[in-house]
Chains A and B, each alone.
Chain A
Amino acid sequence: MDVKFESWKEIIKDENIVFKKTKVLTDNVLSYCPGCGHGVAHRLIAETIEEMGIQDQTIGIAPVGCSVLAYEFFDIDMQQAAHGRATALATAIKRLYPNKFVFTYQGDGDLAAIGGNETLHACNRGENIVIIFINNGIYGMTGGQMAPTTLEGMVTSTSPYGRDPQMMGHPLRITELVAMLPGTYYVTRQAVHKPANVRKTKKAIRKAFENQQQNKGLSFIEIVSNCNSGWKMTPVEANKWMEENMFKVFPLGDIKVDGELVKEL
């Protein structure tokens, strides 16, 4: 440990620790780009699991996408699903082990495009699982192609002149879509770019896991995130761009709480 300042030496003691890396995350270095929102989302889930004391009762489902290696980073039981099929796999696991906590961790390509079918039907059946949906409006892992959630006019490698809704359709707001289904119990959209938003997101994740504990039904948490590599920006610029553009199409806040819509759709 490298301590730079004299006055810090007396503070840096184990009894003064107010924040350190949770034990539910492994020591592996995350495979994400610098500044990626995935890291914070991972940490929040891991901290929730640690605080609830359910490390040995939780089963996570990793998707295909940037977070395909999520099982390397969480020190819990994980299963990796075929592309888009995380919610289907979660359904099976939850039905076989009804006392375990099951969550899926999916990106927008996995959940909204390839797995759109599975997601809608799992939500419609109201499986008692938690779905964490990271929305960055782009296919990050494969090199920044257009995703269903890509904004109008946004330049990606497969929409080099910007997304034209006439030809390529409109951004898919799947969170609003699943909120309309009677099977979902808690639907919310959060972000992790600022300390205040991070705290709110953590509360939402905690609520989702508690809903599952009480057999309330399906909780769906969208986390609007950045993809600074895909958007070709620095992490700080990407967060600013996200605030100015993404939040217009994907406004933050609760959409459905305790099975009741709390927002006009």
Chain B
Amino acid sequence: MAKFKGAIVIDIEKCKGCGLCVEVCPQKVIELGNNVNTKGYFYADVIKEDCTACENCVMVCPDTVITLYKAKLEV
């Protein structure tokens, strides 16, 4: 079975820290950090590299700040 690996890049300046992506991520890759952006929001941050590119976070993000990358794992 081909395995996929994903990676997400969050535009932290546009993130409003609503936490919806944290809730839907099955791998718990995203977390609200302790840092704030220039608007004063605690933005979402990536804490692990277990992303499987399931697209859940990009589906629910209201501000479309997440870009998702997906690549086939070479085994």
Contact = CB atoms under 8 A, between A and B. Distances in A.
Interface of A: 1-5, 7-8, 10-13, 16-22, 25, 29-30, 32-40, 43, 192-195, 198-199, 234-236, 239
A17 B67 contact: yes
Interface string B59-75: 11111111111110000
23 contacts: A4-B46, A12-B7, A13-B69, A16-B7, A16-B71, A18-B55, A18-B68, A18-B70, A19-B66, A19-B67, A19-B68, A21-B64, A25-B64, A32-B62, A34-B16, A34-B17, A35-B62, A38-B62, A194-B24, A194-B60, A195-B56, A234-B19, A235-B19
A236 to B, nearest CB: 5
Contacts of B53: 18
B16 A11 contact: no
Contacts of A4: 46, 49
A193 B23 CA distance: 11
A30 B61 CA distance: 12
Given A40-B60, A40-B62, A195-B55, 15 more contacts: A5-B49, A7-B5, A12-B7, A17-B69, A18-B70, A20-B67, A20-B68, A21-B65, A34-B16, A34-B17, A35-B20, A193-B60, A194-B60, A236-B20, A236-B23
B41 A34 contact: yes
A43 B19 CA distance: 18
Contact of B18 (A17, A18, A235): A235
Contacts, number: 98
Interface of B: 5-7, 9, 12, 14, 16-20, 23-24, 41, 46, 49, 53, 55-56, 58-71
A35 B18 contact: yes
Contact of A195 (B24, B41, B64, B65): B24
A3 B56 CA distance: 20
A34 B41 CA distance: 9
Contacts of A12: 7, 9, 69
Given A11-B7, A11-B69, A17-B67, A236 B19 contact: yes
A27 B55 CA distance: 22
A30 B62 contact: yes
A198 B57 CA distance: 11
Contacts of A38: 62
A19 B51 CA distance: 14
A195 B67 contact: no
Contacts of B46: 4-5
B48 to A, nearest CB: 8
Contacts of B58: 19
A220 B26 CA distance: 33
Nearest to B39: A29
